[in-house]
């Protein structure tokens, strides 16, 4: 790996888009640059709105455990993966007075009555195509997941001097023959 100044990233601003699994197409560099210059979200995608600037994105993984296997002659012959890694990202939505944000957090809900949101008795993760856009100056990078599940990660956070937050876990899922996660940036080459 060479030292490349253009390969570093400071995500000063960002945006999170969702779309219908199988319908929302993978964003292109042109789509990302248009978003940076004009604020236009590509067709088929919806911006989810305000998220926390203090905790912009917390990546993690479940699984991916490994174990060293050996032989009588070599105690540390090989490392084997014993479970598949599943990657996720935790965001904190700030839009607590928003039916869509509440539905993503609670795993559904009832917004059929004006001025109220009913929390479901039996939550279910919402599956969406997801694009997390990280912008360094005018250089956009996208973390694209063709299919991801959205569901609460933790309890809401209330503070008298800060925005109330809805911590939501976005878990990358397998969709057809696609990779679970794609990184998109014009500096990435073949």
pLDDT, tens digit (0-9, with 9 covering 90-100), for 151-161 = 999 999 999 99
In a domain, 190, yes or no: no
- 71 confidence band (pLDDT: 50, 70, 90): very high
Q: How many residues does the chain have?
A: 190
- 76 confidence band (pLDDT: 50, 70, 90): very high
In a domain, 18, yes or no: yes
- 190 confidence band (pLDDT: 50, 70, 90): low
Mean pLDDT value across residues 22-34:
93
In a domain, 4, yes or no: no
Share of the chain above pLDDT 90, in %: 82
In a domain, 189, yes or no: no
Domain containing 55: what range? Answer: 13-184
In a domain, 19, yes or no: yes
Mean pLDDT value across residues 87-97:
96
In a domain, 7, yes or no: no
Q: Is the pLDDT of residue 108 over 70?
A: yes
Give bridge partners of residue 152 from the DSSP assignment. 168
The pLDDT of residue 93 is 96
Residue 158, CA atoms < 13 Å, CB-side half-sphere = 0
Q: What is the mean pLDDT of the chain?
A: 93
If one counts the domains in the chain, the total is 1
* Residue closest to 47 by CA, chosen among 11, 9, 13: 13
In a domain, 8, yes or no: no
- Two structure tokens written together for 66: 């490994």
Is 48:18 a contact under the CB 8 Å cutoff?
A: yes
Mean pLDDT value across residues 56-61:
91
The pLDDT of residue 55 is 86
Q: What share of the chain is helix, strand, coil (3-state, %, to 5)?
A: 10, 35, 50
In a domain, 3, yes or no: no
The pLDDT of residue 158 is 93
């Amino acid at each position: 790996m060479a030292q490349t100044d253009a390969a570093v990233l400071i995500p000063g601003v960002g945006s999170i888009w969702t779309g219908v699994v199988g319908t929302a197409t993978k964003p292109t560099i042109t789509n990302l640059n248009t978003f940076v210059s004009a604020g236009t979200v590509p067709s088929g995608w919806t911006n989810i709105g305000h998220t926390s600037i203090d905790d912009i994105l917390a990546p993690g993984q479940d699984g991916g455990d490994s174990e060293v296997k050996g032989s009588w002659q070599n105690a540390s012959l090989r490392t084997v993966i014993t479970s598949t890694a599943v990657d996720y990202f935790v965001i904190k939505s700030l839009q607590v007075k928003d039916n869509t944000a509440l539905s993503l957090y609670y795993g559904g809900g009832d917004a059929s009555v004006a001025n109220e949101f009913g929390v479901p008795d039996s939550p279910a993760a919402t599956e969406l195509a997801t694009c997390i856009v990280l912008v360094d100056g005018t250089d956009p990078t996208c973390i694209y997941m063709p299919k991801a599940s959205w569901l609460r990660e933790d309890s809401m956070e209330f503070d008298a001097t800060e925005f109330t937050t809805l911590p939501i876990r976005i878990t990358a899922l397998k969709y057809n023959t696609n990779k679970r996660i794609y990184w998109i940036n014009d500096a990435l080459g073949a």
